[in-house]
Structure 1
Amino acid sequence: MTVPVTLRADRGELGGDLGVPPDAVGLVVFAHGSGSSRHSGRNRAVAEALRRRGVATLLMDLLTAEEEAVDLRTRELRFDIGLLAERVRLAVEQVCDRSEVAGLPVGLFGASTGAAAALVAAAGDPAVRAVVSRGGRPDLAGAALDRVTVPTLLIVGGRDEHVLELNREAGSRLAGPSELVVVPGASHLFEEPGALSEVARLAGDWFVAHLPG
């Protein structure tokens, strides 16, 4: 079960859904990919699986309603990694003030361009302890890759060949421990039977292992 939350941003408000299981061992903030939102079915499925493993989750919109309307026309804000990373940082800061998750170690889960935003946020926020990327574009994090010291898991579909190569190159630049896992037969969106469940299992293993520190 999740509850709606409202986060403050520089240009308005961001909607979010916070889910906290009993005796949570950590909190994972989701950074969705290009053209998506907190209602992404794939991210919601992963979040539900994490909560079953005792990890609290925050699914949030990275753009305000007005920005979403602009992005639908121009498709430019979804690639503004600096803006998206700042929204992730603000979300971590604000949600950790809530009593139900106060003191929990924080991880970030990013998909597509959201993975770059998560990595940029992790590079500048000592509160973040682990990052997982699903079909992400970590290469878009640029120079921030050299400053990411937290354990980072990069999950890529075996059929997503171009993104797989980008992840290999980006992973070699990460300053902390990292692992690249290829899900055989999976495409970019992990729509194949069992592919998303494997993503959820891998992410759960990573966060349960690394969030407690």
Structure 2
Amino acid sequence: MTGVLLPVGTVRLEGDLAEPPGARGLIVFAHGSGSGRHSPRNRMVAAALNEAGFGTLLFDLLTAEEELEDRRTARLRFDVPLLAGRLGQVVAWVRERGRGPTGLFGASTGAAAALVAAAAVPGHVGAVVSRGGRPDLAAGALKEVRAPTLLLIGGRDLEVLSLNERALDRMDQSAGHRLVVVPGAGHLFEEPGTLEEVARLSAEWFTANL
């Protein structure tokens, strides 16, 4: 794994890039509210994707100074346009370096940012996976998402499941979007075996769609 600095507008965001030999594409992670590139759940999924032959890029959507502000106000973590704009610039950075097909993996509010970014640059993002995501926060961008999107929801996360079902209804079904419920899982997929199932389903989705 290699540390990278990602130029995004006037700021530089810290990231961790892992590229197995002959990688079949690169998956960019967008973490959820109050989290970052060190999220143990995302790192576990990223490791599984590396084993499946994909490169991964985990990065902080906020600078260190912004993180401190967000801990006080919880304002920036829900600023989906800001987060999606930064994610889109990181996708452009990846494409400029010829890393192959690009996928997005978003968790919680990061999933909304991933969907908005995918809608903004159709053709630049090959597939999206949302883990316990809030696609409803992507609002009007939902119907514009052309990248096949897998919505993964815990069976015990009933409120978010309902939000995802309604969001899926607003998406263009001709793109092949799908919602899958992971039995017994809560919002954070902390129950034994549930995060491993997320990793398995994600690897299958990216393999089939990138």
**Which TM-score band (shorter chain)?**
over 0.9
Q: Is the 8 A contact 2:26 2:99 kept in 1?
A: no
Aligned to 2:129: 132
Q: Is the 8 A contact 1:116 1:138 kept in 2?
A: yes
RMSD: 0.8
Ranges in structure 1 where 5+ consecutive residues have no aligned partner: none
Q: CA deviation at 1:10?
A: 2.4
User: Which residue identity lines up with residue 191 of structure 2 in the other structure?
Assistant: E
Q: Deviations over 1:156-187 (max 9, x none)?
A: 00000000000000011112211110011100
Q: CA deviation at 1:123?
A: 0.2
Aligned to 2:110: 114
Ranges in structure 2 where 5+ consecutive residues have no aligned partner: none
Q: TM-score, structure 1 length as denominator?
A: 0.95
Q: TM-score, structure 2 length as denominator?
A: 0.97
- Aligned partners of 1:52, 1:171: CA distance in 2, in Å? 30
Aligned-pair identity (%): 61
- Aligned partners of 1:149, 1:96: CA distance in 2, in Å? 18
- Aligned partners of 2:13, 2:99: CA distance in 1, in Å? 23
Aligned to 1:208: 207
Aligned residues: 207
User: Equivalences for 1:75-94 in 2 at 5 Å?
Assistant: 75-94=74-93
- Greater mean deviation of Cα atoms: 138-147 or 88-97: 88-97
Aligned to 1:143: 140
Q: CA deviation at 1:133?
A: 0.1
Runs of 4+ in 1 over 4 A off after TM superposition: none
- Aligned partners of 1:113, 1:103: CA distance in 2, in Å? 25
User: Equivalences for 1:1-213 in 2 at 5 Å?
Assistant: 2-98=1-97, 102-125=98-121, 126-175=123-172, 176-211=175-210
Q: CA deviation at 1:66?
A: 1.3
Q: CA deviation at 1:13?
A: 1.0
Q: Is the 8 A contact 1:11 1:64 kept in 2?
A: no
Q: CA deviation at 1:15?
A: 0.3
Q: Deviations over 1:130-169 (max 9, x none)?
A: 0000000000000000100111000000000000000000
User: Which residue identity lines up with residue 136 of structure 1 in the other structure?
Assistant: G
Q: CA deviation at 1:12?
A: 1.5
